Amino acid sequence: MIQFNNSEQYSPFIEIARKQWKELNGSISYNLSNEDIGSLNAMNEPLTLREIQEVYFPLSHLLNIHINEARQLHANVSRFLKDTTHKLPFIIGIAGSVAAGKSTTARVLQKLLSLAPDKPQVDLITTDGFLYPNSVLENKGILNRKGFPESYNTRRLIRFLADIKSGKKEISAPTYSHLEYDIIEDQNQLISSPDIVIIEGINVLQVNISKQHKGPRIFVSDFFDYSIYVHSHEQNLLKWYVDRFLSLQVTAFKKVDSYFHKYADLNQKEAVNTATSIWNEINKPNLLKNILPTRYRANLILEKDPNHLIKKVSIRKI
């Protein structure tokens, strides 16, 4: 039984420790091979079968409850409205800081949700593809603010989500190259009649209210059926960012066509200082001003310990 303390009674969230969370799995279980786990893993993130079983099996079970209820509600409302739309995709938004591990969460959920008995088609879209090209950011003088709200083509992202929610069968999304640190021109990701769409990005829960704007506003999160925020303390995020930078320095940065090739030959001290400087000048201000304040707009928060393992789950009360 989940216990409440006095402060939790007045919170919109139920906080569940990992030990309790893993017991909520019910009968959901999937067979995953070492190859499956390897394909889901990310650099410097210790994703294990135990982590998947204790954290993501229960989470996929919970999401399937919401998905099934949403389908039934859609069917009932469609009959009432005499609507001929057969189905609408269930959209899951996943937010969190740079280096928090939200991409891993998205990949794991994409895999597990696709293993449901009805074998749904689950597509994963990252909002990196909706960043303005570097040439546009340079013209605007905001290349050093990539990842901030103003660096995204939010109008295009909202139009993409509106197409999904209108039941459009084939939709394309722009793609982004982390190697080139830019949009790949004339290359799109096509999704066709998906059952579930996962939208992953640091900006997906932001509202970006402008004082100059008048009239009604539509936000990215308005299209979500469920949203998840991957959270950890800022000191953990900084360490993970630096560790990832050091790993990339001896891998991707070595490639001559990498945007960050200029960092490949730094010694370790220089590399740590460079990564820390980038974090403090760009990622930390964006986290504190634009990303972290959106945490409590999510339906569920996954909180990580310093070892990148989920230690607590917070679920919005229904």
Q: Where are the domains of the chain?
A: 7-236+294-316
Cβ-based neighbours of 67, under 8 Å, separated by 6 or more: 90, 113, 120, 196, 225
Helical spans, DSSP H, in 27-93: 34-40, 49-51, 57-81
Domain 7-236+294-316 has CATH 3.40.50.300: yes
Contact 105, 302 (CB under 8 A): yes
Chain centre to alpha carbon of residue 164: 18
Burial class (CB in 10 A: 0-12, 13-18, 19+), 172: middle
Q: Which residues pair with 148 in a beta bridge?
A: 146
Q: What pLDDT sits at residue 6?
A: 47
User: What average pLDDT does the structure give for the chain?
Assistant: 91
Residue 1 confidence (pLDDT) above 60: no
Q: Which residues pair with 303 in a beta bridge?
A: 231, 312
What is the CB-side half-sphere exposure of residue 60 using CA atoms within 13 A? 27
pTM: 0.92
pLDDT bin (cut points 50, 70, 90) of residue 194 is very high
| Mean pLDDT, rounded, for 12-23 | 93
Residue type, 196: I
Measured distance CA(151)–CA(144) in Å, rounded:
10
Using one digit for the tens of pLDDT, what is the confidence trace for 83-105?
776 778 999 999 999 999 999 99
Measured distance CA(101)–CA(304) in Å, rounded:
9
Using one digit for the tens of pLDDT, what is the confidence trace for 27-36?
667 778 777 8
